[in-house]
Amino acid sequence: MGNQNLSAPPRAQSAPADNPTRTRRQGGGITHDNTRHTTRFVVIGNHLVQHKELSLLAIGLSCHLQSLPTGAGADIKSLAARFPEGPTRIAAALRELEAHGYLRRERHRTQTGRIVTRTVSCNQPHASRREPADTGCPPAKRTPPPQRRTVQKALPAVPQPSSTAPALLQTALDLLATLRRHDPRLLLSATDTAHLVPGVAAWLERDVAPGAVRHALTTGLPDEPLRRPAALLAHRLTDRLPPPPPFRTQSAVAPPPRHPLQNCEGCDRGFRASETEDRCRDCLTAVASHP
Protein backbone atom coordinates (compact mmCIF):
# COMPACT_ATOMS: atom_id res chain seq x y z
CA MET A 1 0.00 0.00 0.00
CA GLY A 2 1.60 3.30 -1.13
CA ASN A 3 2.34 6.12 1.26
CA GLN A 4 0.34 9.35 0.98
CA ASN A 5 2.17 12.39 -0.31
CA LEU A 6 1.96 14.58 2.79
CA SER A 7 3.70 17.48 1.06
CA ALA A 8 0.91 17.92 -1.50
CA PRO A 9 -1.17 21.06 -0.80
CA PRO A 10 -4.81 20.49 0.12
CA ARG A 11 -7.42 21.24 -2.53
CA ALA A 12 -8.79 24.79 -2.29
CA GLN A 13 -12.48 24.98 -1.47
CA SER A 14 -14.68 27.43 -3.34
CA ALA A 15 -16.86 29.87 -1.49
CA PRO A 16 -20.47 28.74 -1.12
CA ALA A 17 -22.94 30.36 -3.50
CA ASP A 18 -25.00 31.79 -0.66
CA ASN A 19 -21.99 33.62 0.81
CA PRO A 20 -20.29 35.56 -2.02
CA THR A 21 -18.34 37.70 0.47
CA ARG A 22 -16.20 34.78 1.61
CA THR A 23 -12.56 35.18 0.50
CA ARG A 24 -11.50 32.83 -2.31
CA ARG A 25 -8.08 31.20 -2.06
CA GLN A 26 -7.47 31.21 -5.80
CA GLY A 27 -8.57 33.42 -8.67
CA GLY A 28 -10.11 36.90 -8.38
CA GLY A 29 -12.06 38.58 -5.61
CA ILE A 30 -11.44 41.47 -3.29
CA THR A 31 -8.47 41.85 -0.96
CA HIS A 32 -8.05 44.46 1.76
CA ASP A 33 -5.21 46.83 2.50
CA ASN A 34 -6.37 48.10 5.90
CA THR A 35 -4.86 50.60 8.30
CA ARG A 36 -6.16 50.84 11.84
CA HIS A 37 -8.05 54.07 12.53
CA THR A 38 -7.30 55.92 15.72
CA THR A 39 -9.25 59.16 15.08
CA ARG A 40 -12.20 60.36 12.95
CA PHE A 41 -13.92 57.03 12.36
CA VAL A 42 -17.36 55.52 12.89
CA VAL A 43 -18.29 51.87 13.50
CA ILE A 44 -20.71 50.51 10.89
CA GLY A 45 -22.29 47.07 11.20
CA ASN A 46 -22.18 44.50 8.42
CA HIS A 47 -25.95 44.16 8.77
CA LEU A 48 -26.09 47.59 7.11
CA VAL A 49 -23.28 47.59 4.57
CA GLN A 50 -24.17 44.05 3.39
CA HIS A 51 -27.95 44.50 3.56
CA LYS A 52 -29.70 42.44 0.89
CA GLU A 53 -32.74 44.71 0.42
CA LEU A 54 -31.43 48.25 0.80
CA SER A 55 -30.20 50.11 -2.27
CA LEU A 56 -26.61 51.21 -2.53
CA LEU A 57 -27.72 54.83 -2.15
CA ALA A 58 -29.62 54.05 1.06
CA ILE A 59 -26.63 52.15 2.52
CA GLY A 60 -24.23 54.99 1.73
CA LEU A 61 -26.64 57.60 3.05
CA SER A 62 -27.05 55.71 6.33
CA CYS A 63 -23.27 55.53 6.74
CA HIS A 64 -23.08 59.29 6.18
CA LEU A 65 -25.86 59.99 8.71
CA GLN A 66 -24.18 57.82 11.37
CA SER A 67 -20.97 59.80 10.90
CA LEU A 68 -22.62 63.20 11.47
CA PRO A 69 -22.32 64.94 14.85
CA THR A 70 -25.43 65.56 16.90
CA GLY A 71 -27.33 68.59 15.66
CA ALA A 72 -26.02 68.49 12.09
CA GLY A 73 -28.53 69.10 9.29
CA ALA A 74 -30.05 65.83 8.07
CA ASP A 75 -33.18 67.00 6.25
CA ILE A 76 -33.75 66.46 2.52
CA LYS A 77 -32.79 70.03 1.64
CA SER A 78 -29.47 69.85 3.50
CA LEU A 79 -28.58 66.44 2.07
CA ALA A 80 -29.48 67.51 -1.48
CA ALA A 81 -27.12 70.47 -1.12
CA ARG A 82 -24.35 68.10 0.00
CA PHE A 83 -24.76 65.30 -2.59
CA PRO A 84 -25.48 65.30 -6.33
CA GLU A 85 -28.34 62.74 -6.23
CA GLY A 86 -31.09 65.36 -5.81
CA PRO A 87 -34.03 65.60 -3.37
CA THR A 88 -36.21 62.95 -5.05
CA ARG A 89 -33.62 60.14 -4.84
CA ILE A 90 -32.52 61.20 -1.35
CA ALA A 91 -36.12 61.20 -0.13
CA ALA A 92 -36.59 57.68 -1.52
CA ALA A 93 -33.41 56.48 0.22
CA LEU A 94 -34.55 57.97 3.54
CA ARG A 95 -37.85 56.12 3.21
CA GLU A 96 -35.93 52.87 2.66
CA LEU A 97 -33.90 53.41 5.82
CA GLU A 98 -37.03 54.32 7.77
CA ALA A 99 -38.81 51.16 6.56
CA HIS A 100 -35.90 48.93 7.67
CA GLY A 101 -35.41 50.58 11.06
CA TYR A 102 -32.22 52.55 10.36
CA LEU A 103 -33.97 55.92 10.55
CA ARG A 104 -36.73 57.51 12.58
CA ARG A 105 -38.26 60.97 12.16
CA GLU A 106 -39.94 62.57 15.17
CA ARG A 107 -41.89 65.80 15.49
CA HIS A 108 -41.11 67.98 18.51
CA ARG A 109 -42.49 71.27 19.78
CA THR A 110 -39.87 73.84 20.77
CA GLN A 111 -40.16 76.24 23.72
CA THR A 112 -41.43 78.90 21.31
CA GLY A 113 -44.23 76.61 20.14
CA ARG A 114 -42.71 75.82 16.74
CA ILE A 115 -43.02 72.25 15.43
CA VAL A 116 -39.71 70.82 14.14
CA THR A 117 -38.81 67.43 12.66
CA ARG A 118 -35.90 65.59 14.30
CA THR A 119 -34.07 62.86 12.36
CA VAL A 120 -32.78 59.93 14.45
CA SER A 121 -30.14 57.68 12.85
CA CYS A 122 -30.10 54.13 14.24
CA ASN A 123 -26.90 52.07 14.08
CA GLN A 124 -28.75 48.89 15.10
CA PRO A 125 -32.28 48.51 13.69
CA HIS A 126 -35.03 47.17 15.95
CA ALA A 127 -32.67 46.97 18.92
CA SER A 128 -35.68 47.13 21.24
CA ARG A 129 -36.62 43.58 20.20
CA ARG A 130 -33.52 42.20 21.96
CA GLU A 131 -31.96 42.82 25.34
CA PRO A 132 -31.53 46.53 26.17
CA ALA A 133 -28.08 47.87 25.29
CA ASP A 134 -26.26 51.17 25.08
CA THR A 135 -26.07 50.91 21.29
CA GLY A 136 -29.02 50.78 19.00
CA CYS A 137 -32.05 52.91 18.34
CA PRO A 138 -34.50 53.08 21.26
CA PRO A 139 -38.18 52.71 20.47
CA ALA A 140 -39.97 55.90 19.54
CA LYS A 141 -42.08 57.56 22.18
CA ARG A 142 -45.68 57.11 21.16
CA THR A 143 -48.64 59.06 22.39
CA PRO A 144 -51.30 56.78 23.86
CA PRO A 145 -54.23 56.44 21.45
CA PRO A 146 -57.37 58.33 22.42
CA GLN A 147 -60.26 56.39 23.86
CA ARG A 148 -62.52 57.55 21.06
CA ARG A 149 -61.60 57.33 17.42
CA THR A 150 -61.06 60.81 16.02
CA VAL A 151 -62.89 61.66 12.81
CA GLN A 152 -60.72 63.14 10.08
CA LYS A 153 -61.62 66.70 9.22
CA ALA A 154 -63.20 67.41 5.88
CA LEU A 155 -60.98 68.85 3.18
CA PRO A 156 -61.10 72.63 2.68
CA ALA A 157 -63.51 73.87 0.03
CA VAL A 158 -62.12 74.55 -3.45
CA PRO A 159 -63.23 77.05 -6.13
CA GLN A 160 -66.06 75.88 -8.35
CA PRO A 161 -65.99 76.37 -12.14
CA SER A 162 -68.85 77.99 -14.01
CA SER A 163 -68.69 75.21 -16.60
CA THR A 164 -68.88 71.45 -16.03
CA ALA A 165 -67.90 70.44 -19.56
CA PRO A 166 -66.57 66.84 -19.58
CA ALA A 167 -63.41 67.86 -21.46
CA LEU A 168 -62.58 70.51 -18.84
CA LEU A 169 -63.08 68.12 -15.92
CA GLN A 170 -61.06 65.38 -17.64
CA THR A 171 -58.13 67.75 -18.17
CA ALA A 172 -58.25 68.66 -14.47
CA LEU A 173 -58.36 64.97 -13.51
CA ASP A 174 -55.35 64.12 -15.70
CA LEU A 175 -53.38 67.03 -14.22
CA LEU A 176 -53.97 65.83 -10.64
CA ALA A 177 -52.97 62.27 -11.57
CA THR A 178 -49.54 63.44 -12.78
CA LEU A 179 -48.60 65.42 -9.66
CA ARG A 180 -46.98 62.36 -8.06
CA ARG A 181 -44.42 62.32 -10.89
CA HIS A 182 -43.13 65.69 -9.67
CA ASP A 183 -43.29 64.78 -5.97
CA PRO A 184 -44.06 61.22 -4.74
CA ARG A 185 -45.73 62.69 -1.66
CA LEU A 186 -48.57 64.02 -3.86
CA LEU A 187 -50.12 60.58 -4.37
CA LEU A 188 -53.87 61.23 -4.05
CA SER A 189 -56.74 58.86 -3.37
CA ALA A 190 -59.77 58.70 -5.64
CA THR A 191 -61.86 60.57 -3.06
CA ASP A 192 -59.30 63.37 -2.68
CA THR A 193 -58.94 63.67 -6.46
CA ALA A 194 -62.69 64.00 -6.95
CA HIS A 195 -62.75 66.79 -4.36
CA LEU A 196 -59.91 68.71 -6.03
CA VAL A 197 -61.05 68.37 -9.68
CA PRO A 198 -63.49 71.35 -9.59
CA GLY A 199 -60.77 73.59 -8.10
CA VAL A 200 -58.34 72.76 -10.90
CA ALA A 201 -61.11 73.22 -13.49
CA ALA A 202 -61.78 76.71 -12.07
CA TRP A 203 -58.14 77.59 -12.80
CA LEU A 204 -58.24 76.13 -16.30
CA GLU A 205 -61.35 78.03 -17.33
CA ARG A 206 -59.58 81.24 -16.32
CA ASP A 207 -57.14 80.60 -19.17
CA VAL A 208 -54.35 79.27 -16.90
CA ALA A 209 -52.25 76.69 -18.75
CA PRO A 210 -52.04 73.18 -17.19
CA GLY A 211 -48.29 73.60 -16.73
CA ALA A 212 -48.83 76.82 -14.77
CA VAL A 213 -51.42 75.12 -12.54
CA ARG A 214 -49.01 72.22 -11.91
CA HIS A 215 -46.21 74.67 -11.06
CA ALA A 216 -48.42 76.52 -8.56
CA LEU A 217 -49.33 73.25 -6.81
CA THR A 218 -45.88 71.61 -6.66
CA THR A 219 -43.42 74.49 -6.15
CA GLY A 220 -42.17 75.40 -2.68
CA LEU A 221 -43.55 72.39 -0.80
CA PRO A 222 -42.23 71.85 2.76
CA ASP A 223 -39.37 69.40 3.28
CA GLU A 224 -41.05 67.42 6.04
CA PRO A 225 -43.52 64.59 5.25
CA LEU A 226 -46.97 65.78 4.15
CA ARG A 227 -49.57 64.41 6.55
CA ARG A 228 -52.46 65.26 4.20
CA PRO A 229 -51.36 66.45 0.76
CA ALA A 230 -54.94 66.92 -0.49
CA ALA A 231 -55.59 69.57 2.19
CA LEU A 232 -52.49 71.50 1.16
CA LEU A 233 -53.50 71.39 -2.51
CA ALA A 234 -57.03 72.54 -1.68
CA HIS A 235 -55.63 75.50 0.24
CA ARG A 236 -53.37 76.48 -2.66
CA LEU A 237 -56.19 76.21 -5.20
CA THR A 238 -58.24 78.66 -3.15
CA ASP A 239 -55.53 80.98 -1.83
CA ARG A 240 -53.72 81.41 -5.17
CA LEU A 241 -56.74 81.50 -7.49
CA PRO A 242 -56.00 84.04 -10.27
CA PRO A 243 -58.60 86.65 -11.31
CA PRO A 244 -60.86 85.92 -14.28
CA PRO A 245 -59.85 87.19 -17.73
CA PRO A 246 -60.86 90.80 -18.50
CA PHE A 247 -63.33 89.84 -21.20
CA ARG A 248 -65.31 87.77 -18.70
CA THR A 249 -65.79 90.52 -16.15
CA GLN A 250 -69.19 92.17 -15.83
CA SER A 251 -69.77 95.35 -17.79
CA ALA A 252 -69.45 98.57 -15.83
CA VAL A 253 -72.33 100.16 -17.86
CA ALA A 254 -75.68 99.64 -16.17
CA PRO A 255 -78.62 98.46 -18.36
CA PRO A 256 -81.25 101.09 -19.23
CA PRO A 257 -84.12 101.35 -16.71
CA ARG A 258 -87.43 99.66 -17.52
CA HIS A 259 -90.24 102.22 -17.09
CA PRO A 260 -93.70 101.22 -15.84
CA LEU A 261 -96.62 100.70 -18.22
CA GLN A 262 -99.24 103.52 -18.24
CA ASN A 263 -102.11 104.85 -20.41
CA CYS A 264 -101.70 107.85 -22.71
CA GLU A 265 -103.80 110.89 -21.73
CA GLY A 266 -104.43 111.65 -25.41
CA CYS A 267 -105.36 108.29 -26.96
CA ASP A 268 -105.63 106.03 -23.90
CA ARG A 269 -103.10 103.68 -25.45
CA GLY A 270 -100.71 101.83 -23.19
CA PHE A 271 -97.04 102.82 -23.34
CA ARG A 272 -93.93 102.78 -21.16
CA ALA A 273 -92.46 106.07 -19.97
CA SER A 274 -91.34 107.86 -16.85
CA GLU A 275 -93.91 109.24 -14.46
CA THR A 276 -93.33 112.78 -15.77
CA GLU A 277 -94.57 111.86 -19.26
CA ASP A 278 -98.35 111.48 -19.75
CA ARG A 279 -98.60 111.11 -23.53
CA CYS A 280 -97.21 108.58 -25.98
CA ARG A 281 -94.78 109.44 -28.75
CA ASP A 282 -97.50 109.67 -31.44
CA CYS A 283 -99.61 112.11 -29.40
CA LEU A 284 -96.56 114.25 -28.62
CA THR A 285 -95.75 114.39 -32.35
CA ALA A 286 -99.37 115.38 -33.20
CA VAL A 287 -99.41 118.16 -30.62
CA ALA A 288 -96.05 119.46 -31.87
CA SER A 289 -97.30 119.60 -35.47
CA HIS A 290 -100.60 121.37 -34.57
CA PRO A 291 -99.82 123.93 -31.93
Average pLDDT for residues 161-183, to the nearest whole number? 92
The pLDDT of residue 2 is above 70: no
> 99-108, 112-121, 185-194, 267-276: which has the minimum mean pLDDT?
267-276
Q: Count the alpha carbons within 13 Å of 81 in the hemisphere toward its beta carbon.
A: 5
Tell me, what amino acid is at 33?
Answer: D
Sorted by where each begins, the domain ranges of the chain are: 46-129, 166-245, 261-291
CATH, range 46-129: 1.10.10.10
Task: Determine if the pTM surpasses 0.85.
Answer: no
The pLDDT of residue 8 is above 50: no
Q: Which is nearest to 52 in space by CA: 4, 124, 103, 100? A: 100
pLDDT tens for each residue of 214-249: 999 999 998 888 889 999 999 999 999 999 887 654
Phi, psi of 109 (to 5 degrees): -100, 125
Q: Report the sign of the C-alpha dihedral through residues 83, 87, 92, 97, in that order.
A: positive
Please provide the average confidence, as pLDDT, over all residues in the chain.
Answer: 80
- Kindly give the residue spans of alpha helices, DSSP state H, lying in 205-256: 210-218, 229-239
Distance between CA atoms of residues 2 and 143, nearest Å: 79
User: What burial letters (b/e) apply to 181-213, b meaning 16+ CB within 10 Å?
Assistant: eebebbebeeebbebbbbbbbbbbbbebeeeeb
Share of the chain above pLDDT 90, in %: 35
Looking at residue 14, its pLDDT comes to 45
Distance between CA atoms of residues 162 and 194, nearest Å: 17
The pLDDT of residue 266 is above 50: yes
pLDDT tens for each residue of 105-164: 888 888 887 887 888 899 888 754 444 444 455 555 555 555 666 567 889 999 999 988
Looking at residue 57, its pLDDT comes to 92
The pLDDT of residue 1 is above 60: no
